[in-house]
Amino acid sequence: MAEAIRELIGEAALEPGKVKLELPPIVENGNTVPLTVSVESPMTQADHVESIHIFNQKNPQPYVAAFYLGPRAGKAYIATRIRLADSQRLVAIARLSDGSFCSDSADVIVTLAACTEQ
Amino acid sequence: MARVLINFPQRAKRGDIIEVKTLIQHPMETGYRLDNKGAAIPRDIINRFTCTYNGDEVFRGELHPAISANPFIAFSTVVTETGELVFSWTDDRGQIQTETRQINVE
Amino acid sequence: MKGLLKPLLGLAAATTLAAAPDERRSGYDFAGGEIRAMQDDDTANPGSLWVLQGEALWSKPVGADGRACADCHGDARVSMRGVAARYPAYDAALARPVDLEQRINQCRTEHQRAEPLAWESDDLLALTAFVARQSRGVPVAVSTKPELHPFGALGRELFRQRQGQLNLSCRQCHEDNWGKRLAGSVIPQAHPTGYPVYRLEWQTLGSLQRRLRSCMIGVRAEPFDYGAPQAVALELYLMERARGMLMDPPAVRP
């Protein structure tokens, strides 16, 4: 995950604050985990969120998704549902129009189903 | 054509920020699952989602196998003028499914 | 109090309640907050995709005569209201109960002269989901007619008998241990008020028969074939046990 994040941000620093990554702390099934990311931003032409990138720690790939917003979004907000292979940390990074990056992280405990068909 | 569910207020005022909710029927096969003979089931996911508003792209998502089956994506957009919101989902084979919805602006 | 069966002596209906009526809780109550939120929002419930598909199929002409469900049944919102709540229902010609999926296929073969839809096929799930959706909020109301008693009794026996390598009965989990955890999930009471369900484990919609097969595989028993008389008898018993509880299809479950 660290490498994938470095690919995105290069040498830049990750500013804390502004980004809020929300996930349930514990889930009954890792197949469909609701996730939302919101970023405090006026979303004007001069000052907005360009994109939100989501990374995970323990799935086979570190990438989850990248969402591209811009001033037409009005609000820097996305919601989706993701798959988590195991209990792990998620990181959301927002790229702002001034080139800086902010982030937030969340830890999720994934419990396993009992009676499966396999 | 996969089933799609798109939801946003059909009527809105100029300047409102509306939430758009989308859901599409798709297995999002990760490529990591094994069939009962032990062979990997090939990856087949929707890797890209876009929304244009009267031709201008207002939202785009690049998706990886970590996005759940029957992908749900919600985002917001500023209401500008009456017209069309066009949603496109592209899969790994390059096939694109497009849905168009009207928006009426007061 | 949990787990005590209360046989209702002197009543013609051969049903026993798993718990006192006010102790019965839907699978919805045992699911976590996120799952309930997913179910409650029709614009975000994955099951809605199948309901939409079912709505389209309802009006689609099929079969030798090019007939659609709508040609006989009109507006499903009216004609199908409460129907799913009454299934499995007794079929006089077959002299046995049939479940909703079987009834839909009967209509297809006998009245539309079309091929029956395969179990767990998208189209059959879609039609079942669409019909079941018209019973949302309706109390389960399977018939008490005497013809159904032997089948309900068989269902009850199947519910109670130990099976599989793990030698467990449905009752041991769903009556003696509901509310406790099995792996990461809370054990529900097994009231099928929400079928067909979007089960997160399947990442798709599925029927009650699929769920019963999953449980049987879970205890390492040979699962019933789809459509087997025992499967329908067990479905009937489960619905009798849930009589009066409100339907909530298409439900989302872990």
Closest Cβ–Cβ partner in A64, A67, A69 for B66? A64
| Active-site residue, C72 included | no
- pLDDT score of A116: 63
Neighbouring CB atoms inside 10 A of B46's CB total 23
Mean local confidence (pLDDT), B17-23: 97
Q: Is residue B70 part of a domain?
A: yes
Predicted model pTM? 0.91
Q: Is residue B37 part of a domain?
A: no
Instruction: Enumerate residue ranges in chain A where pLDDT < 70.
Output: 113-118
Q: What CATH number does residue B93 fall under?
A: 2.60.40.10
What ipTM was estimated for this complex?
0.94
What separation in angstroms does the CA of B96 have from each of A17, A33, C174, C218?
Answer: 37, 26, 45, 39
Q: Which residue type occupies C35?
A: I
Mean local confidence (pLDDT), B49-62: 97
- pLDDT score of A113: 64
Mean local confidence (pLDDT), C192-221: 95
Tokens 């980004």, located at residue: A19
Give residue C94's pLDDT band: very low, low, confident or very high (50, 70, 90).
Answer: very high
- Under 8 Å CB pairs connecting chains B and C tally to 33
Counting the structural domains of chain B, the total is 1
Sign of the CA dihedral with A95 first, then A97, A98, and A104 last: negative
B35: contact with A, CB 8 A cutoff: no
Predicted confidence (pLDDT) per residue in C50-90, tens digit: 999 999 999 999 999 899 999 999 999 999 999 999 999 99
What separation in angstroms does the CA of C72 have from each of B87, C69, C76, C244?
Answer: 36, 6, 10, 29
Q: Is residue B96 part of a domain?
A: yes
State which residue of chain C sits closest to A23, comparing Cα positions.
Answer: C34
Query: Of C9 and C49, which is predicted with more confidence?
Result: C49
Q: Is residue B80 part of a domain?
A: yes
Residue A43, by phi and psi: left (phi above 0), alpha (psi -120 to 50) or beta? left
Alpha carbon C63 to chain centroid distance?
27
B69: contact with C, CB 8 A cutoff: yes
Q: Is residue B101 part of a domain?
A: yes
- pLDDT score of C169: 97
Nearest to C105 by CA among C115, C94, C97, C91: C115
Asked if C203's CB is within 8 angstroms of A113's CB, the reply is: no
Asked if C49's CB is within 8 angstroms of B70's CB, the reply is: yes
Mean local confidence (pLDDT), B65-93: 96
Closest Cβ–Cβ partner in B68, B71, B75 for A31? B68
- pLDDT score of C185: 81
- pLDDT score of C13: 43
Strand partners, A42: none
Domain that holds residue B78: 4-30+44-105
Asked if A83's CB is within 8 angstroms of B67's CB, the reply is: yes
Give the whole-angstrom CA distance, residue B84 versus residue B79: 11
Which secondary structure element, helix H or strand E, spans residue B62, and what is its range?
strand B56-63
Q: Is residue B68 part of a domain?
A: yes
Q: Which chains touch A (3 or more CB pairs under 8 A)?
A: B, C
Give the whole-angstrom CA distance, residue C230 versus residue C235: 9
Neighbouring CB atoms inside 10 A of B48's CB total 16
Q: Which tokens belong to A43?
A: 């979303």
Q: Catalytic pick from C69, C107, C170, C215?
A: C215
Q: Is residue B39 part of a domain?
A: no
Give the whole-angstrom CA distance, residue A64 versus residue C48: 25
Q: Is residue B38 part of a domain?
A: no
Predicted confidence (pLDDT) per residue in C8-21, tens digit: 444 444 444 555 55
B90: contact with C, CB 8 A cutoff: no
Mean local confidence (pLDDT), C114-136: 97
- pLDDT score of C162: 97
Backbone angles phi, psi at A112, to 5 degrees: -100, 150
Quick check: bond before B71 cis, omega within 30? no
Decide if C7 contacts C212 (C-beta within 8 A). no
State which residue of chain A sits closest to C220, comparing Cα positions.
Answer: A115
Q: Which tokens belong to A100?
A: 């800086």
